[in-house]
Amino acid sequence: MPEARRLLVLRHVPWEGPGLVTTGLQDLPTDDRLVVDETDPDLPRAADLAGLVVMGGPMGADDLVEHPGLVAERRILAEAVDAEVPVIGICLGMQLLACALGAPLHRGHGTEIGLGPVDVLASDPVLDPLGPRPEVLHWHSDAVDLPTGAALLASSPSTPVQAFRAGSALGLQFHLEVDRPLLGAWLAEPAMQADLAAHGISGMAEAGDRVLPSLTPAAILGLSTFAEAVRSRV
């Protein structure tokens, strides 16, 4: 029998894992890798994957010299869209997806860190359970334009492209994968603490306590549609 297709998760720092994205997929064959600083990472062919998840990180999506693995990540993202593989790109992962599809990156476009609303502009199975104006977790300063042919799904005043759909691929600028325990783990990381301090931001834990208990069930429900798409390819 041929080997089952695997879910590939690409991280950029150890603590930014897939969280709620892989709810219900824990029994699937999964490669969870950090290749951002590898010059020529040995990634599988996109068509051989059950699904692809690309996570966030502190580097820029165009930091291709400092972090050469991003070149391969962009390549496999473009190939996955062409092969109709289920894809979710989150924060940096969304920016890499947009760049892979030809959209420009805007460095330092506008910092959004904390819990704040986005306006959902179009129906999508992952976003529909969130309602028209969910409060979600933001942690970014760069932004992207909408790739040609993609559907704009969500927006905020500071970041016009908060979510988009390009065929089998979903890009989310905000962190739908984060529940309260994962946020706690982030807030315990010195690098994340330093970023909050540099921006003069406090009260993240309290905001998470307020928002995430009600957001998490809706996020799990929406993300289950991604899990179903992945399972259909195993």
Q: Which of 12, 67, 140, 175 is catalytic?
A: 175
The residue annotated as part of the active site, out of 67, 73, 91, 140, is: 91
- Active-site pick, 16, 73, 135, 177: 177
- Is 177 among the catalytic positions? yes
Bridge partners of residue 54, in order along the sequence: 10, 89
Q: CA quadruple 231, 88, 33, 137: dihedral positive or negative?
A: negative
Q: Name the phi and psi angles at 221, rounded to 5.
A: -65, -45
206 annotated active-site: no
Quick check: is 199 catalytic? Answer: no
- Determine phi and psi for 76, rounding to 5 degrees: -70, -30
Amino acid at residue number 141 = S
The amino acid at residue 211 is V
Query: For the chain, how many helices (H) and strands (E)?
Result: 5, 12
Indicate which residues carry an active-site annotation: 91, 175, 177
